[in-house]
Chain A
Amino acid sequence: MRLPRFEYLRPSSLYECLELLEGSGHESRIMAGGTDFLVSLKQGVISPQKVISIRSVPELGSVSEDAEGNLQIGACANLSDLVKHSLVLKKLPALHDAISSVGSMHIRNMATIGGNLCLAPRCWYYNQSKQWRHAVEGCYRTGGKVCHAISGSKRCHAINSSDTAPMLIALGARVCLQKKDNKRWISLREFFRDDGRHHTVLEKGEMLTSVIIPCETGKDRSTFIKIQHRKGLDFAIGSIGASVKGNGRKKEISLIINSISSVPLFLAKAAETVMESGFNESAIGKAAEIARGETGAVTNLFTSAGYKRQIVEVLVKRALSSLKRK
C-alpha cells in the first residue's frame, strides 16, 4: 500500500508548529508517532495536503514533575519511554498498565501519548481499503449520508479505542490545547465530543500539547483493565480506568469505560452506588449491574451492543474488586 502524495513540514519549535497549523488550516494534519495516522492515510480515510511532523519539536517530548508533585507529560512523549519512566512507575502504576496495553512493543516504540489521546475513532466499515469502502455508498465519515455500522442511524458510530484516555480521565488529567495566540487547559473528560462528526473539541489551528496528571496522595488508588480478543497487539473490546480519591465519607470514585462507543463514558451511577454502600460484594455486584444500563454501547468492531454491555458489567466488577483489594 502506497501513501498518497502530500507536502511534508517539520517544525523545529512549538511556535513554528503552531504558526504552520494556523496558516494551513484544514488542509494540514498533525502526525506524531504515525502508527495510526499513516494507516488511515494508506487506506485513504484521510487525505491531507500537508502533513506536519511534530516528532522533533523539543518542547513536546518532556516529562516532568511540578512543585505539587503533579506529572506533566508532553504530547510527543513516547509510550515505551513512559512505561519505563521512573515517575510513572513510582507514582502511577495504573497508568503504566494502561500504556503497556497499547499495541505491541513495536507500536509503543513509535507511538506517543498525545497521539493515543487524539486517536481517530474506528469502525469496521471505514477502517478498510478504499476498494472495500467503495463497494457500498459512502458513510457519514466518508462524505455520505448513511452509517453502515448501525443502519438507519442519523450519525456516525465509530468507536473511540484509546486505552490511555479512560485511565487518564479517571486520574483527573487535564490537557493543554494550544493555538498560535491562545492556550487553554481543559479537563480531559471534556476533550472528547460525542456528536459523530468531530471526536475532540480541538478547533481549527489548535493542537494538544501536554497532559497534566494530579498526583495521588494518601489512600488514593487506581486500576486499569482491558479486555481484548487476544493478549497482544489488539484494540480493546472494552477497557476501564478506575480510581478512588480520598477516604471515608469524602471518598470519590471514578469509573471510566472506553472502546464501547464514540467517547469514553463516565459511569456516575455505578460509582455512586459504591460510594454510598462501600466496597462490599453486594454493592460491587449492584454497581456492575447498574453500569450495564448506564452505557450507550453500540454494535461495531466485531462485537454486538449486548456483548459490550456484558463486557461493561464484567469490567466494572473486576475494577471495583481490584480497588477493594489495593
Chain B
Amino acid sequence: MKSIITLNVNGEVHEIAVNPWRTLVDVLREDLKLTGTKRACEQGACGVCTVIMDGKAILSCLALAVDCAGHSITTIESLGSSDGLHPLQQSFIDNGAVQCGFCTPGVIMTAKALLDENPNPDDTAIKEALAGTYCRCTGHIKTVEAVKKAVQAGREVK
C-alpha cells in the first residue's frame, strides 16, 4: 500500500506517494527525475548511488524511501550551477579523475560528505572514505588525488 511521504531533496520539499518496497535511488531517479544519482551494483558494494542524508554519506540503493521521510537529502544535482562547477567537480576534471563518469556522482558525494565534516582530511581519511566507492576505469589513485588537490587548493568546499 502506498504511503504519502515528504522528502526534502536539495532543499526542495516533495510530497510523493510511494510503495514501501521502493528504494531511495528508485524514487530519486524515477519519481523526482534526479538521474544524476546512478544505480550500479544495488548491493551496497560500489558506492555509486551515494547521496548525503543529514550530513552523512549513505547508499541510496539500501535505504527505503519511506525510511528517509523527514530527513534532508542532498544529491549531486545540488552541486555547481549554471555559472560554474563546484570546486570538487572542477578538481575531478582537472586531475583526470573522470573517465566514463558513471561512478563520479557517488565518489564526489562521498568526498563532499567527508569535507563537510572535516575540511582538512589527511591521506588516510580520504582513502578510508573513498574505500567505499568503486571506479573501474580511472582507478583510485586519481580520485584520491583529485580530492587531495581540492583540499590543498584551499577552495571553499561546500
Chain A residues close to B by CB (< 8 Å): 1-8, 10, 34-35, 38-39, 42, 51, 53, 55, 80, 103-107, 109-110, 231-233
Contact = CB atoms under 8 A, between A and B. Distances in A.
A11 to B, nearest CB: 13
A51 B50 contact: no
Nearest to B56: A109
Contacts of B42: 1, 42
Given A106-B110, A109-B56, A6 B21 contact: yes
5 contacts: A55-B67, A107-B132, A109-B58, A110-B62, A233-B45
Query: Which 5 A-B residue pairs are closest in the complex by CB-CB distance?
Result: A232-B131, A104-B132, A8-B20, A3-B21, A109-B56
B54 to A, nearest CB: 10
A7 to B, nearest CB: 7
Contact of A53 (B64, B110, B114): B64
Interface in B124-149: 127-129, 131-133
Contacts of A39: 43-44, 62
B88 interface: no
B99 interface: no
Interface in B8-66: 19-23, 42-45, 47, 50, 56-59, 62-64, 66
A109 B53 CA distance: 10
A8 B21 CA distance: 8
A51 B58 CA distance: 21
Given A104-B132, A105-B131, A231-B131, A8 B66 contact: yes
A42 B22 CA distance: 11
**Chain B CB within 10 A, most for which of A42, A55, A106:** A106
B111 to A, nearest CB: 11
Contacts of A35: 44, 59, 62
Nearest to A5: B21
A106 B1 contact: no
Contact of B23 (A5, A38, A231, A232): A38
B59 A51 contact: no
A110 B63 contact: yes
A38 B62 contact: yes
A107 B56 CA distance: 11
B132 A233 contact: yes
**Chain A CB within 10 A, most for which of B19, B22, B23, B62:** B62
A19 B19 CA distance: 24
A67 B3 CA distance: 44
Nearest to A100: B128
A106 B20 contact: no
Contact of A109 (B21, B43, B57, B128): B57
A34 B57 contact: no
B20 A51 contact: yes
A110 B58 contact: yes
A103 B67 CA distance: 21
B128 A34 contact: no
A231 B132 CA distance: 11
Given A35-B62, A38-B23, A106 B44 contact: yes
